[in-house]
Each structure stands twice: as structure tokens, then as C-alpha cells.
Amino acid sequence: MKITHHNNPWEHIIVEDFLSADKFEQIKNLGMIEYEKYLRDGSNHSYTDHKDNVSYTKLAKYTKFFTEDIIPETNQFFKMLPKHRGFKGELKKVIHFQISPPNFDFPLHIDNVSRINTCSFYIYPDKSIGTILADNPSRNDDGDHNAADKKSHSEIEVPWKPNTLFVHNSIPNKTWHKYMGDSYRITMNLFLLQPDLVRHGRGINPENLIDIDPKYYL
């Protein structure tokens, strides 16, 4: 495991060779099972941003939620990034596979207000496009994935490599990022959430809210 801290364009962590080879293979195999289901049955989750008077952000994808913490190794990273949007009460962990179709493009946004910490784990394929981070002057973050309304000063990629983890804490009007791909793309996304701020219709059921030891976030 190689952990590096970065400050450009804002603070984040990249962890290369995050899991042991054996555990990564186990996670990848689980992901490929869901990938085969996606190819057979199609998407099971369609997201729109539901904003009025603007073009909709649309993404048909496949998600698979977990009810237990199958990767507790991510819990250590929240406190390594001391700045965050703030929270009240106990946090819960949510874990899901996300399989995105070819030629998708989710625009610059900041994670939903309920998400305090986000870990994006690259799984498949061997080559793809990693998350794009932006130094962007937009101030229109509405706490619900609103697309940036100004042009970025600069953008950088968190390079795609399987078994790499990208970690960031959401900061309003600061942590602008986007993701895209030219082929099917499997990630595992892991969040620390403030449960009472989860918006209705996000597909997160009570059984998907995983308890986490408060020592990891207090």
C-alpha cells in the first residue's frame, strides 16, 4: 500500500496497491459477477439531477449495495484529511459497486450534502479515465450534485489503475470533480454519511447503512 497526499487542486489522498493481491482479486470477482448481470439485464439505476430550467444530468448505470463493511481498510483515511463540510451525530458507511456504460460523462459537481467522506476504488478495466479534479471558481454548489456553472482554471486526473483508491472529504464550492469513460467501468464507492441528510430517491435503504466505530470519525 502506497499512500500519497496531494493538494492540487485541493486536498486528497491516492492509495496505490490498496488491497493485497488476493483480496483485490476477491473484490474484482464480485464486481465481475455484477458486470455479467448488467450485460444480461441492463441498468438498474437511472439518475437525473431534477433541476428545473436547466439541462438534466442523466446517467443510466448499475449499482450493487452491500449490507456489511467488506472493506474496513478505507476507514482509516477520513482523519488523514482534517478539512470537511462538517457533520452532526453518528456517521454511517455506505458501500456499492457502480458500473457505468461506455461513453458516459458526469459533469463537474460536488458530492451530495450527506456525504462527508468519499472513497472511489478503481476495479475494472485495466485502462480507463480516472476521476477529474478541478480548480473551479463556481459558487453554485446546492448540496445535491449541481453542475459547475463556470469554466475551470485547471483540471487534473487521478490516474486510472486497478487497485487504486481515491479519497476526498467534501467541501462546499471547493471539491469540484467529474468522471467519465469510453468503456464499461467498474468502481466500488464507499461513503461516510450523515444519515438524516440522505435525499429521498437515492436508492439508499436502511439496511445499506453500515455501522462504523466512532473512533474513525470523532
Q: What is the pLDDT of residues 42-101, one digit of tens each?
A: 777 655 554 554 544 455 678 899 999 999 999 999 999 999 999 999 999 999 999 998
Region of poorest pLDDT, from 2-11, 75-84, 130-139, 194-203: 194-203
pLDDT at 202 over 80: no
CATH code where residue 11 lies: 2.60.120.620
Residue 31's identity, in one-letter code, is G
Predicted local confidence at residue 56, as pLDDT: 41
Domain span including residue 90: 2-216
Give the model confidence (pLDDT) of 21-33 as tens digits: 999 999 999 999 9
Number of domains in the chain: 1
The mean pLDDT value for 130-149 works out to 94
Q: Can you tell me the distance from the alpha carbon of 116 to that of 167, in angstroms, rounded to the nearest whole number?
A: 11
